[in-house]
Homo-oligomer: A and B are copies of this chain.
Amino acid sequence: MKKFINNVDDILSESLTGFADANTDILEVKFKPDFIARKSKPAKSKVALISGGGSGHEPLHGGFVGYGMLDAACPGHIFSAPTPDQMESAANYVDSGKGILFIVKNYSGDIMNFEMGTDMLDLENQTIIVNDDVAVEDSTYTTGRRGVAGTIIVEKTVGSLAETGASLEECKTFGEHVNKMTASMGVAFTSCTVPAAGKPTFDIGIDEMEFGVGIHGEPGRKREKIKTADEITSELLGAILEDLKPNHNQEVLLHINGFGGTPLMELYLLFNSSKKILDQKNIKISRSLVGNFTTSLDMAGGSITITKLDQKIIKHWDSPVHTPSLRWKM
Copy count, this protein chain: 2
Chain B residues whose C-beta falls within 8 Å of the C-beta of A18 in the assembled complex: 268-273, 275, 290
A17-B272, A270-B4, A271-B21 known; A11 and B265 CB under 8 Å? yes
Chain B residues whose C-beta falls within 8 Å of the C-beta of A270 in the assembled complex: 4, 18
Determine the interface band of chain A, counting residues with CB < 8 A from chain B.
35 or more
Q: Pick from A3, A289, A302 the residue with the most CB of B within 10 Å.
A: A3
- Any chain B CB within 8 A of the CB of A83? no
Chain B residues whose C-beta falls within 8 Å of the C-beta of A300 in the assembled complex: 2, 261, 298
A2-B190, A327-B327 known; A272 and B21 CB under 8 Å? yes
In the bound complex, do residue B2 and residue A265 qualify as a contact, i.e. CB atoms below 8 Å apart? no
In the bound complex, do residue A269 and residue B2 qualify as a contact, i.e. CB atoms below 8 Å apart? no
A269 to chain B, nearest CB (A): 4
A5 to chain B, nearest CB (A): 6
Q: How far is the CA of A3 from the CA of B269 in the complex (A)?
A: 10
- Any chain B CB within 8 A of the CB of A228? yes
A-B contact pairs, 25 of them (CB 8 A): A2-B190, A2-B209, A2-B226, A3-B189, A4-B232, A4-B269, A4-B270, A5-B228, A6-B273, A15-B265, A15-B269, A18-B268, A18-B272, A18-B273, A19-B268, A19-B271, A22-B289, A22-B290, A58-B263, A58-B264, A63-B264, A261-B298, A261-B300, A264-B292, A264-B295
